[in-house]
Amino acid sequence: MVSLYNEDIISDLEKKIKMSFNDKLLLQRAITHKSFSNENSHLDLRDNERLEFLGDSVLSIVISTFIFDNFPDYPEGELAKMRSVIVSEPILAMQARKIQLGKYLLLGNGEELSGGRERDSILADAMEALIGAIYLDLGIDMARKFIISNFNKIIIDVEKGKYIQDYKTILQELLQKDGFGRPIYQVVDEKGPDHNKSFVIDVLYQNKKIGSGKGSSKKEAEQNAAMAALKNMNII
């Protein structure tokens, strides 16, 4: 098999995250999406899914420890809510964009053409894979340093209530106070193959559209539709 190593991409990414890897191929693996390894089976490549699995756990323990230490008066339930928002897909994708992680990703042609570099799910997974790679190559202290430096402001904002993860629940609770039932979510568009679909969903209340959202899953599109409705209602 032929191996692939792009020194320019890896060097630039190291500068971006201000870290120098001992195992450069491990860092390359963190940015290798399965679509790229599948389309280039002749190359000796492994995708980032296992690193994503590890990074998810590292992120969770670092964030859990940090908020446990810094918010001593918060009960377990509040800490759990904070953590769920901080490590959620939209937040991870947002932080990935801040370090321009999307431009370093190795994607297959299909993902490239369908806008994979900007897709929340791909960016969030790559962020977790990067954290997993940092942990394996440089240790927990460097992984903690990277996580806290990138998520500290998010933690402060979440504590202040700036981010609300479950927009559907918030919207439903608000509307049910009127006594006219729940909002209805309706798929109005669906595109792409089974492994790479995109959805557009409208949220209706009393037979009127109050918001619309897009997403790579129905769940994501519904949350975005609920968020749009809350914005239209000047709630957020």
201: β partners: 187, 213
Catalytic one of 47, 120, 128, 222: 128
> Does residue 137 have an active-site annotation?
no
Catalytic one of 56, 89, 120, 202: 56
Give Cα separations from 23 to 92, 125, 137, 168 (angstroms). 24, 20, 7, 43
DSSP code string of 11-66: HHHHHHHT---S-HHHHHHHTB-HHHHHHTTTB----SHHHHHHHHHHHHHHHHHH
CB 91 within 8 A of CB 154: yes
What is d(CA 107, CA 111) in angstroms, rounded to the nearest whole number?
A: 6
H or E element at residue 225: helix 218-232
202: β partners: 186, 212
Give Cα separations from 162 to 91, 102, 124, 226 (angstroms). 12, 25, 20, 16
> Does residue 128 have an active-site annotation?
yes
159 assigned binding-site residue: no
Residue 185 DSSP code:
E
What is d(CA 87, CA 154) in angstroms, rounded to the nearest whole number?
A: 10
Which residues does the annotation place in the binding site? Answer: 52, 125, 128
| Residues classed as catalytic | 56, 128
Which residues does the annotation place in the binding site for Mg(2+)? Answer: 52, 125, 128
